[in-house]
Amino acid sequence: DVQLVESGGGSVQAGGPLRLSCVASGYTYRRHCMGWFRQAPGKEREGVATISIGGGSTYYADSVKGRFTISRDNNKNTVYLEVNSLKPEDTAMYYCAAAVDYICWWDRFRFWGQGTQVTVS
């Protein structure tokens, strides 16, 4: 199993950058595809980005392509989500997640952090 803790959220102006971090613990961390999800009030939770266990392959939702970048530093047990230009519609609770194994399909994510709120003016 893996435990996840997100940080870096807050109130940010539209157009500004943001970097979210997710610190993972658990001996199985390096066996998992990792991802970021988000959920806005009244909306379903949606997948944002995924990254393979070695960090060599990434996948992004259409709504964030070109603006969001997911990365991982396995030596630090940390996953990052960087945004170069936030939009008001990016306002949501952002969750770090780990898939059940190396497969990065959206419905394979099983382990979740508590979330970090991002509010864009």
b/e for 23-49, b at 16 or more Cβ within 10 A?
Answer: bbeeeebeebbbbbbbeeeeeeeebbb
- The predicted structure's pLDDT at residue 77: 95
- The predicted structure's pLDDT at residue 65: 96
- The predicted structure's pLDDT at residue 26: 83
Half-sphere exposure in the Cβ direction for 53 (13 Å, CA)? 10
- The predicted structure's pLDDT at residue 80: 98
Average pLDDT, consecutive stretches of 10 residues, N- to C-terminus, the chain (121 residues)? 95 98 90 97 97 97 97 96 97 98 96 98 92
